[in-house]
Amino acid sequence: MSTTQGYGLSFPLRSGETCALQADALSVGQRQIALSEIVTAGLVADLSVTVPPGMPPTPGVSLRLRDGSVVAFTPVEQLDCWRLLQALATARPGVVTPPPPPPGAHGPTMGYPPPGYAPGYTMGYAPGYPPYVMRLAGPTESDKTWAGFSHLSVFLAPVILPLIVWLALRRSQPYASQQAKQAFWFHLFFALLPFLAGIGLQLFFLPATTITAASSTPDGGVYFNALPSLLVFYGLLIILGLTNAVFSVIGAIQAFQGKPFHYPLLGWLAR
């Protein structure tokens, strides 16, 4: 049975765990999910629960987070799904659009099954409410494709393409947008690094090498003594380029599979 606890609801799940809504977080078992991390919330059909022929599937709740991952769970009492979604709609306007009907509303168009509903009853929704999902939600094929191409843009348009994907899909496809956002900053860093390194080479290393060489062997020693610095410089560029390419390919592989991926030191961009 669901109860009121603290700032929100607390109810048991079919997994044996407990879901509790607090002021700024939702706990699902041992996992704490900040409300600010939830991008969308909606109903999902738990097809692992067997129901009699003609009966509607058992409803659960599916949450899509900013990093593209999905958390799905099934309350013991079906009405707790709607209670939680309505509470989330109040706490995070826009996450559940439009909000489910208020507790106590029944009927084929209001989203609540009436007590003791007969076989054949179809669980409906308020006008404009999203259709019932018959599988666990996750990154769509479009999400995966755009996210993967954003990482692979390192070989074609390493800054422009991720920027376009990030800005164009930040509301409609959060997984692709978050992956593109990381790819943009990661690729931008490696695009600017050679220029910054070249400026440093011109300002610090080559002048010092030139002075040393000119004082010792002015007949050509300048180029000989500058050679080690140039070799180190271009060697570092090659290493950085390979690092960029390797992590981008790893990110693309993870993205095409719909898995969360964070570049080193850039996990905060997924928040």
- Structural element, H or E, at residue 39: strand 38-46
Distance CA 224, CA 214 (A): 11
Annotate 162-206 with DSSP letters as a single string: HHHHHHHSTTT-HHHHHHHHHHHHHHHHHHHHHHHHHHHIIIIIH
Does residue 98 have a cis peptide bond before it, meaning omega lies within 30 degrees of 0?
yes
Distance CA 263, CA 186 (A): 7
User: Which pLDDT value is given to residue 241?
Assistant: 86
User: Which pLDDT value is given to residue 267?
Assistant: 58
Mean pLDDT by 10 residues, the chain (271 residues): 59 88 89 91 80 80 86 88 88 71 44 39 37 49 91 90 91 84 91 76 59 49 57 80 92 90 71 50
Contact 261, 250 (CB under 8 A): yes
C-alpha dihedral sign at 97, 103, 105, 107: positive
Q: How far is CA 34 from the centre of its chain?
A: 14
Instruction: Measure Cα distances from 181 to 69, 135, 136 in Å.
Output: 16, 28, 25
User: Which pLDDT value is given to residue 180?
Assistant: 92
Question: Cα-Cα-Cα-Cα dihedral of 17, 18, 19, 21, to 10°?
Answer: -150
Q: What is the CA radius of gyration of the chain?
A: 27
Residue type, 108: P
pTM value is 0.49
Query: How many other C-beta atoms lie within 10 A of the C-beta of residue 144?
Result: 23
Q: What is the DSSP letter of 214?
A: H
Task: Provide the pairing of β-strand 25-28 with 8-12.
Answer: unpaired
